């Protein structure tokens, strides 16, 4: 394992080093110590490497991730895994607002709670939250899956497209055009796989969840729905 002391060597050197790991490399395991809430740690990675951050991070940790597995042994600030394309990002603590925003692929796991706007404008990412999520989560979510083992705040799934939302706890309110939907066998199978990959299959069963999705009334403008736009 390669150890990088962020306090001594600096953020620019860390990200430059990790960005250089393309193609074949035997330097596949990295440990970042002394992060001290620094912003933009391990952003833009594009190699099948494992990066463990020993502590909490600031804004946009693991943003635009491709291929890499990034684990934060602490909590993450706003925008963790923003616009990630593939790979896995695991937060052992809590995540601040808009975690996984605009994510196009890969898996984001938050073992604590997520704040407001978790998964906004999702475009294919899978997000598993072991705790609760805040208001306006999955706003304009287009595709992908959001799994919440705890409770969801106000306006869940507002202006939702075709993303699938699974919540085990209570939902304070649903956003415009978001409704509860039938949980069919294919959804139970999908959820079982997501719980396993999200390291949560020992915490909950697929049968414990409710599914929410788009009512599909806002796809084209209708004057009768004008107040909902």
**83 within 8 A of 104, measured Cβ to Cβ:** yes
Which residues, in sequence order, are bridge partners of residue 54? 33
Position 22 scores a pLDDT of: 76
pLDDT, residue 217, reads 86
The pTM of the full predicted model, rounded to 2 decimals, is 0.94
- 182 in Cβ contact with 162 (< 8 Å): no
Residue 32 near residue 56, CB atoms below 8 Å: no
| Best CA proximity match to 228, nearest among 217, 135, 214 | 217
pLDDT (tens, 9 = 90+) of the chain, 229 residues, equals 899 999 999 999 999 999 998 766 678 999 999 999 999 999 999 999 999 999 999 999 999 999 999 999 999 999 999 999 999 999 999 999 999 999 999 999 999 999 999 999 999 999 999 999 999 999 999 999 999 999 999 999 999 999 999 999 999 999 999 999 999 999 999 999 999 999 999 999 999 999 999 999 877 767 776 676 5
* Measured distance CA(152)–CA(161) in Å, rounded: 18
Element at 162 (helix H, strand E): none
Q: Regarding beta strands 88-91 and 210-214, do their DSSP bridges make them parallel or antiparallel, or are they unpaired?
A: unpaired
Compute CA distances 45 → 23, 50, 75, 211, 216, whole Å.
12, 10, 20, 33, 36
171 and 216 in contact (C-beta within 8 Å)? no
Contacts of residues 158-164 at CB distance under 8 Å and 24 or more positions apart, as own/partner, are 159/218, 160/212, 160/213, 160/214, 161/214, 162/213, 162/214, 163/119, 163/122, 163/138, 163/213, 164/190, 164/211, 164/212, 164/213
CA nearest to 63, candidates 35, 38, 85: 85
Hey, what domains does the chain have and what are their CATH numbers? 2-219 (2.160.20.60)
Contact 96, 77 (CB under 8 A): yes
């Amino acid at each position: 394992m390669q150890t990088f002391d962020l306090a001594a060597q600096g953020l620019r050197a860390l990200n430059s080093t990790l960005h250089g790991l393309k193609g074949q490399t035997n330097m596949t395991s990295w440990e970042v110590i002394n992060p001290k809430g620094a912003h933009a740690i391990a952003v833009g990675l594009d190699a099948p490497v494992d990066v463990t951050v020993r502590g909490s991070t600031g804004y946009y940790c693991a943003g635009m991730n491709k291929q890499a597995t990034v684990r934060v042994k602490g909590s993450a600030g706003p925008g963790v895994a923003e616009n990630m394309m593939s790979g896995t990002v695991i937060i052992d603590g809590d995540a601040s607002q808009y975690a996984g925003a605009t994510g196009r692929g890969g898996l984001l796991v938050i073992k604590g709670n997520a704040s407001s706007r978790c998964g906004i404008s999702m475009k294919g990412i899978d997000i598993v939250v072991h705790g609760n999520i805040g208001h306006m989560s999955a706003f304009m979510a287009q595709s992908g899956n959001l799994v919440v083992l705890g409770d969801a705040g106000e306006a869940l799934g507002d202006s939702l497209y075709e993303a699938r939302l699974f919540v085990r706890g209570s939902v304070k309110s649903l956003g415009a055009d978001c409704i509860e939907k039938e949980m069919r066998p294919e959804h139970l199978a999908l959820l079982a796989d997501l719980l396993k990959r999200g390291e949560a299959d020992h915490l909950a069963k697929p049968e414990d969840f409710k599914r929410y999705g788009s009512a599909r009334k806002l796809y084209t403008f209708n004057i009768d729905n004008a107040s909902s736009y």
